């Protein structure tokens, strides 16, 4: 709870700094503040309690994920220094919006009441709409913003309708109450429908097939930093929330009562297979790196969906997977930000010969891509491993085999980038070594590798 308040406060402060003409200091102060929040959040870890008659419930799950979100946000804020250096007047707004967005995210994973959930998701989304369209004079950015806005609010409508139906079925927004009454026998059919509507809404947010179409376009159009934010923070927030929704509202067992569990599992299996396959195959022929990563994100969404099949056991796995994915994403995007600073597009050609001009960044990007591809010692591999382990334990061997085949396909496009960096001749020289970008990249990939070497650190948090 305190975390949430602190974050919001921090956001407001960011706005105040603008007024107080502290633009220079804004980034460091915000980072410091976020670190403080992180510490605060860490203190809350393990304490199970709820506030404001159960509007917010703090649990291991919520705190763990909140800390992850905060860490990611720190990186994003750090990156924004160089990204916005040519319109300094707006920097405080951008940073503030990111912080608010984080608040929304934290609210989403720690909601105790569907109202809170709804608010959280809207805070997140609206912030994203703004950021997506933030490059005002760039038509691409506008289009991205508009697309995301229309479809997003459409999805919010669906979610709202879902909430409404559940309310109708249960007569309450409080998830603990719903959790209990979900077990009771004959529920009105609205309940499962409502759940499905909410789940679909969330599937849209995490860009799972067939609700993924917005992702590539929006990722491509938005400013690179926003894309980074979407593909890391926004995605993992959505996944975590979806997971919490399914577990918190006790969907599985309630469906079990109405023997719909099997149906639900089929749906999940189908969606996850579809997401992986479509994502990976579509990514093969992309030339724009952001777009490529959008599709790779879709496929990763498919992987993460596998956790919904083993809700009871796989919170830790999900946390690990999201952490690995987000850290790799941050590392990759910081390199992309550096490489594409003064280009209007993010085509692969911009990366030619990076291995010669900036070996370190090239190595980092390589590492992050290998992590996404699931090559050992990078945490991406263990994430996949634990995921497959869980899933086979639940008896979905065929799903795992499809997933395996998909990870083979994915290597195809990840390596396209690596080859571009190492075996093509550099077509421009890249000057300057912006400290914050390098720092973000190094730290994030280091964290990624550390996670790989000591997976238990994260894995055991939620078990």
Partner 1 sequence: MDTNLALLLVLTPFLGFLINVFFGKSLGKTVSGTIGTLAVAISFIVTLVLFNQINSTGKGIEVTLFDWIQISNLKINLGFLLDQLSVLWLLFVTGIGSLIHLYSISYMHDDENMHKFFSYLNLFVFFMITLVIGSNLLVLFIGWEGVGLCSYLLIGFWYKNQDYNDAAKKAFIMNRIGDLGLLIGMFIIGSMFSTLDYATLKTAVSEGSPLLSLAALCLFIGACGKSAQIPLYTWLPDAMAGPTPVSALIHAATMVTAGIFMVTRLNFVFDLAVDVQTVIAVIGAITSLLAATIGLVQNDIKKVLAYSTVSQLGLMFLALGFGAYEVAVFHVITHAFFKACLFLGSGSVIHGLHGEQDMRKMGGLRKAMPITFWTMMISSLAISGVPFFSGFFSKDEILLTAFHHSIPLYVVGSIASVMTAFYMFRLMFLTFFKEFRGTEEQKHHLHESGSLITIPLIILAILATFGGLISLPGNSWLNEYLSPLFTKAEGGEHHLGATEYTLMGVAVLGGLLGILIAYIKYFKQNNVPESDDNIIGLSKLLYDKYYIDEIYEAVIVKPINFLSKFFRDYIETGIAAFVFGFGKVTGEIAFQGKKIQTGSIGLYLFVFVIGLCAIVSYLFLAQ
Partner 2 sequence: MNVSTILIILLIGAFATYLSGDKLASKVALLFSLAALGCSILLLNNYNAGENISFIANWINKPTIVLALNADGLGIAMVLLTLALTPIIIFSSFGNEYKNAKSFYALILFMAFAMAGTFLAADGLLYYVFWELALVPIYFIALIWGNGDAEERRKAVVKFFIYTLAGSLFMLTAFIYLYQKTGSFLLEKLYAAELSSNEQLWIFLAFFLAYAIKIPIIPFHTWQANVYQKAPTVGTMLLSGIMLKMGLYSVLRWQLPIAPLAAKEYLNIFISLGIAGVIYGSIVALKQKDLKKLLAYSSLAHVGLIAAGSYTLTLDGLRGAVLQMIAHGFVVVGLFFAAEVIFRRFETREISEMGGIRIQSPKFTSMFLILVLASVALPSTFNFVGEFTVLYSLSQINIWFAVLGGTTIILGAYYMLKMFQQVMLGEANSKTFADVSLNEGISFAVIIAVLLFFGFYPKPITDLITPSLETILSVINKN
Partner 3 sequence: MGNILNQIGIENYIFLSVVLFCIGIFGVLYRRNAIIVFMSIEIMLNAVNLLFVAFSTYHQDAQGQVFVFFSMAVAAAEVAVGLAILVSIFRNIGSISIDNLKNLKG
Neighbours of 189 (CB within 10 A): 11
Contact partner at residue 139 from partner 3, partner 1, partner 2, none, CB < 5 to 8 Å by partner kind? partner 3
- The torsion defined by the Cα of 37, 41, 43 and 49, in degrees rounded to 10, comes to 140
Contact status: 200 vs partner 1 (CB under 8 A) = yes
Contact status: 404 vs partner 2 (CB under 8 A) = yes
How many positions of this chain bind partner 3 (CB under 8 A)? 42
Contact partner at residue 204 from partner 1, partner 3, partner 2, none, CB < 5 to 8 Å by partner kind? partner 1
Q: Where does this chain touch partner 1 (CB under 8 A) — which range of 78-86, 105-113, 151-159, 239-247?
A: 151-159
Helix axis angle, 214-221 relative to 139-170, nearest 10°?
140
Give the DSSP letter string of 305-344: HGGGGGTTT-HHHHHHHHHHHHHHHHHHHHHHHHHTTT-S
Q: Provide φ and ψ at 347, rounded to 5°.
A: -70, 155
Task: Please tell me the distance from the alpha carbon of residue 99 to that of residue 83, in angstroms, as a whole number.
Answer: 16
- Chain-centre distance for alpha carbon 146: 21
Contact status: 285 vs partner 2 (CB under 8 A) = no
Query: Is the distance from CB of 463 to CB of 391 less than 8 angstroms?
Result: no
Contact status: 257 vs partner 3 (CB under 8 A) = no
Contact status: 149 vs partner 3 (CB under 8 A) = yes
Contact status: 411 vs partner 2 (CB under 8 A) = yes
Q: Choose, by CB under 8 A, the member of 270, 393, 427, 428 that binds partner 2.
A: 393
Contact status: 281 vs partner 3 (CB under 8 A) = no
Task: Please tell me the distance from the alpha carbon of residue 91 to that of residue 85, in angstroms, as a whole number.
Answer: 8
Contact partner at residue 445 from partner 3, partner 1, partner 2, none, CB < 5 to 8 Å by partner kind? none
Contact partner at residue 393 from partner 2, partner 1, partner 3, none, CB < 5 to 8 Å by partner kind? partner 2
Task: Please tell me the distance from the alpha carbon of residue 328 to that of residue 177, in angstroms, as a whole number.
Answer: 38
Taking the complex as a whole, the smallest distance from the CB of residue 252 to partner 1 amounts, in Å, to 15
Taking the complex as a whole, the smallest distance from the CB of residue 313 to partner 1 amounts, in Å, to 25
Contact status: 219 vs partner 1 (CB under 8 A) = no
Task: Please tell me the distance from the alpha carbon of residue 255 to that of residue 90, in angstroms, as a whole number.
Answer: 49
Query: Is the distance from CB of 407 to CB of 374 less than 8 angstroms?
Result: yes
Residues 6 or more apart whose CB falls under 8 angstroms from that of 269 comprise 309, 396, 399
Contact status: 177 vs partner 2 (CB under 8 A) = no
Contact status: 150 vs partner 3 (CB under 8 A) = yes
Report the site for partner 1 in 385-424 (rule: CB under 8 A).
409, 412
Selection from 343, 270, 277, 364 nearest residue 309 by Cα: 270
Q: Choose, by CB under 8 A, the member of 82, 122, 413, 455 that binds partner 3.
A: 122
Contact status: 145 vs partner 3 (CB under 8 A) = yes
Nearer to partner 2, 311 or 375 (CB): 375
Contact status: 284 vs partner 2 (CB under 8 A) = no
Contact string (CB under 8 A) for partner 2, positions 413-452, x = contact? --x---x--xx-----------------------------
Residues 6 or more apart whose CB falls under 8 angstroms from that of 61 comprise 109, 244, 315, 462
Contact status: 164 vs partner 1 (CB under 8 A) = no
Q: Choose, by CB under 8 A, the member of 164, 394, 419, 442 that binds partner 3.
A: 164
Kindly report each contact of residues 409-414 with a partner whose C-beta sits within 8 Å and lies 24 or more positions away, as own/partner: 409/280, 409/281, 409/284, 410/280, 410/283, 410/296, 410/299, 410/372, 410/373, 410/374, 411/373, 412/284, 413/280, 413/283, 413/284, 413/286, 413/292, 413/296, 414/296, 414/369, 414/370, 414/372, 414/373
Contact status: 168 vs partner 1 (CB under 8 A) = no
Contact status: 223 vs partner 3 (CB under 8 A) = no
**In the beta sheet, which residues pair with residue 288?**
347
Query: Is the distance from CB of 421 to CB of 351 less than 8 angstroms?
Result: yes
H helices of 84-138, where?
91-109, 114-132
Q: Where does this chain touch partner 2 (CB under 8 A) — which range of 74-82, 218-226, 335-343, 412-420?
A: 412-420
Q: Choose, by CB under 8 A, the member of 2, 49, 184, 263 that binds partner 1.
A: 263
Residues of the shown chain interacting with partner 2 in the complex, contacts defined by CB under 8 A: 355, 359, 370, 375-377, 381-382, 385-386, 388-389, 392-393, 397, 400-401, 404, 407-408, 411-412, 415, 419, 422-423, 455-456, 459-460, 463
Residues of the shown chain interacting with partner 3 in the complex, contacts defined by CB under 8 A: 115, 118-119, 122, 125-126, 129-130, 133, 136-137, 139-140, 142-147, 149-150, 153-154, 156-157, 160-161, 163-165, 167-168, 171-173, 190, 216-218, 220-221, 291
Residues of the shown chain interacting with partner 1 in the complex, contacts defined by CB under 8 A: 146-147, 150-151, 154-155, 158, 189, 192-193, 196-197, 200, 204, 210-211, 213-214, 216-217, 258, 260, 262-263, 266-267, 278, 281-285, 409, 412
């Amino acid at each position: 709870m305190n975390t949430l308040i602190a974050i919001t406060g921090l956001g407001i402060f960011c706005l105040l700094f603008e007024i107080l003409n502290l633009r220079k200091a804004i980034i460091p102060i915000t980072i410091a503040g976020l670190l403080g929040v992180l510490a605060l959040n860490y203190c809350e870890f393990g304490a199970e309690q709820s506030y404001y008659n159960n509007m917010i419930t703090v649990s291991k799950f919520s705190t763990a994920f909140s800390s992850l979100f905060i860490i990611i946000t720190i990186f994003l804020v750090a990156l924004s220094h160089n990204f916005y250096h040519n319109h300094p007047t707006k920097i405080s707004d951008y940073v503030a919006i990111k912080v608010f967005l984080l608040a929304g995210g934290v609210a989403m994973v720690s909601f105790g009441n569907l109202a809170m959930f709804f608010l959280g998701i809207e805070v997140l989304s609206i912030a994203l709409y703004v950021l997506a369209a933030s490059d005002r004079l760039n038509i691409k950015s506008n289009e991205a913003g508009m697309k995301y806005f229309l479809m997003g609010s459409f999805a919010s409508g669906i979610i709202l309708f879902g909430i409404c139906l559940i309310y109708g079925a249960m007569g309450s927004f409080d998830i603990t109450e719903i959790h209990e009454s979900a077990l009771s026998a004959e529920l009105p059919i609205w309940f499962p429908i409502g759940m499905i509507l909410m789940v679909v809404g969330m599937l849209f947010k995490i860009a799972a097939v067939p609700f993924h179409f917005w992702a590539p376009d929006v990722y491509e159009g938005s400013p690179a930093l926003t894309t980074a934010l979407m593909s890391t923070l926004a995605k993992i927030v959505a996944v975590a929330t979806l997971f919490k929704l399914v577990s918190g509202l006790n969907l599985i067992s309630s469906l079990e009562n109405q023997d719909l569990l099997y149906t639900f599992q089929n749906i999940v299996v189908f969606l996850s297979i579809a997401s992986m396959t479509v994502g990976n195959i579509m990514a093969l022929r992309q030339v724009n790196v952001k777009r490529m990563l959008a599709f790779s994100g879709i496929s990763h969404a498919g992987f993460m969906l596998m956790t919904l099949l083993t809700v009871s056991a796989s919170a830790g796995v999900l946390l690990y997977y999201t952490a690995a994915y987000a850290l790799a994403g941050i590392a990759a995007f910081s390199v992309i930000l550096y490489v594409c600073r003064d280009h209007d597009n993010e085509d692969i050609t911009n990366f030619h010969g990076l291995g010669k001009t900036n070996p370190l960044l090239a190595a980092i990007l390589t590492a992050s891509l290998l992590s996404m591809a699931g090559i050992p010692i990078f945490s991406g591999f263990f994430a996949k491993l634990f995921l497959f382990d869980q899933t086979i334990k639940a008896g979905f061997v065929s799903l795992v085999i499809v997933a395996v085949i998909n990870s083979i396909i994915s290597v195809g496009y990840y390596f396209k980038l690596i080859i571009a960096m190492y075996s093509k001749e550099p077509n421009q020289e890249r000057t300057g070594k912006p400290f914050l970008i390098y720092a973000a990249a190094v730290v994030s990939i280091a964290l990624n590798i550390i996670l790989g070497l000591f997976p238990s650190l994260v894995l055991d948090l939620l078990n």
